[in-house]
Amino acid sequence: MKRWLIALGVLVVGRFRRRPLLDEPERLVPSAAPDRRAENIVLLLFGAATLCGVAVPVIYAWDAIPNQTQFLGLAFGLAFAFLSAACIVIAKRLIVTEDIEEEYGLTHPEDEEALEQLVDESGDRFTRKRLLILAGAGAGTALGAALVTPAASLGPVFDTSTLYKTPWRRGVRLVDEAGHAFRADDIEEETFYTAYPEHAEREQMGAPIVVVRLKPAELRLPSARSGWAPEGILAYSKICTHAGCAIALYRKPTFAPVEPRPALVCPCHYSTFDVANGGEVLFGPAGRPLPQLPLLVDPAGQLRAAGNFSGAVGPSWWGVRRHGPRS
């Protein structure tokens, strides 16, 4: 650790702390010959680290390349590896080392002077200090830029209206994976179905829903939502309100008196939503209920949306409660 501090001190402080050559005190560190080859290696390693650091935002921005994530990881890994290799070469080949028996004390002025002298003398071997500092700073800046790059994925900052948009509005039919319209009679109890809005982009957050059927007597929906579940058929967003995973688990009791109540469960962190009670959170890290989609059965017996969701779809963010969803 001491040696690393010294290396850092040499690179940062050493340059500006040249001591007057008059009445030179006795050397603490034995002098050593400069090592241009090691310096070249260090420059090369810093350069390689800089390149890898710069590569990260480039790979990040360039969606067309395959295996983007793997390349990002590789660039990060190599940048750190080159940087640490450079530090190792500096520490082993370029810093003049000296065994120190007593501990450094920074309280006494003489000790401080001795430490400064130590740092200065340890850096004696460098011939191109400014170039090395520049190379090191370049590598550090590139790596810093690489580290903040993923922050660009944190989502829309100023215009969050897209987060409230869903393809559901009154009259949109519910279709299955193959695009066939769901009839109310298709929906059986004790199981669950995934449905999508007809003629809409399925990849968007607000598209997929889970459909289940309970006995109408089992429903405990808030009074404002009476009529949202014709024949006991309920629809909820398939996207968990915690982290946005797809809700793939439905638990239903075989024998209600001793078994847990029917609920949708997210497989990622086990957020559990009560289907009878408007998607209230029963368990888990989700902070708000699963948005419910009001349904209606048209004269042909097909299931259609009767409006938009009860709340914003998808994982929560700071402004999630500000508006309702829009079509």
Partner 1 sequence: MTRALLLCLVAGLLAIPVASADPPQQGVTHVHVAPGTPAVDWGEQLFGANCVTCHGPNGRGITSEVHGAGNEEGLGPSLRGVGAGAADFYLRTGYMPLDDPHKQPHRSHVLFSKGELAALVAYVASLGPGPRIPRPHPERGSLSEGQALFTEHCAGCHQIDAKGGYVTNAVAPTLDQASPVEIAEAVRTGPYLMPRFSGRQISDAQLDSIIRYVIYAKHPDDRGGWALGHVGPVPEGLVTWFIGIVLLIATCAVIGKRIES
Are 326 and 251 contacting, i.e. CB atoms less than 8 angstroms apart? no
CA distance 264 to 275: 7
Helix (H) or strand (E) holding 296: strand 295-297
Q: Is 298 in the site for partner 1 (CB under 8 A)?
A: no
Nearer Cβ to partner 1 (16/255): 255
Pick from 169, 225, 251, 326 the residue near partner 1 by CB under 8 A. 251
Both tokens of residue 269?
């962190």
- Binding-site size for partner 1 (CB under 8 A) equals 33
Structure tokens at 306: 């009767």
Residue 114 or 249: the one with the smaller Cβ distance to partner 1 is 249
Query: Which member of 21, 64, 151, 258 binds partner 1 (CB under 8 A)?
Result: 258
Element (H, E) at 137: helix 129-148
The CA R_g of the chain, rounded to the nearest whole Å, is 32
Q: Does 272 bind partner 1 (CB under 8 A)?
A: yes
| In the block, residue with structure tokens 């989502």 | 155
Does the footprint of partner 1 cover residue 30 (CB under 8 A)? Answer: yes
- Exposure class string for 87-103: b at 16+ Cβ within 10 A, else e: bebbeeebbbeeeeeee
Q: 213 or 304, CB closer to partner 1?
A: 213
Binding residue (CB under 8 A) for partner 1 from 250, 277, 297, 326: 250
Q: Name the residue with tokens 């903040």.
A: 148
User: Which range binds partner 1 by CB under 8 A, 33-41, 46-54, 105-113, 258-266?
Assistant: 258-266
What element of type H or E holds 45?
helix 36-61
Q: Compute how many other C-beta atoms are within 10 angstroms of the C-beta atom of residue 172.
A: 22
Contact between 284 and partner 1 by CB under 8 A: the answer reads yes
**x/- string (CB under 8 A) for partner 1, residues 74-113?**
--------------x--xx----x-x--------------
Of 12 and 32, nearer to partner 1 (C-beta) is 32
Among 249, 277, 296, 307, binds partner 1 (CB under 8 A): 249
* By the rule CB under 8 A, 263 interacts with partner 1: yes
Which among 9-17, 131-139, 149-157, 265-273 is the span making contact with partner 1, rule CB under 8 A?
265-273
Structure-token pair, residue 315 = 């994982």
325: closest CA among 209, 229, 217, 231? 209
Q: How many CB atoms lie within 10 A of CB 232?
A: 17
Q: From the CB of 191, what's the least distance to partner 1, in Å?
A: 4
Options 151, 255, 299, 318; binder of partner 1; rule CB under 8 A: 255
Inter-residue contact 258 to 240 (CB < 8 Å):
no
Our CB check for partner 1 shows the closer of 96 and 312 to be 96
Smallest distance from partner 1 to CB 67, Å: 17
Torsion of CA 190, 194, 199, 201, to 10 degrees: 160
**By CB under 8 A, which span of 43-51, 107-115, 160-168, 248-256 interacts with partner 1?**
248-256
What does the binding site for partner 1 look like in residue numbers (CB under 8 A)? 30, 32, 88, 91-92, 97, 99, 186, 188, 190-193, 248-255, 257-260, 263, 265, 267, 270, 272, 282-284
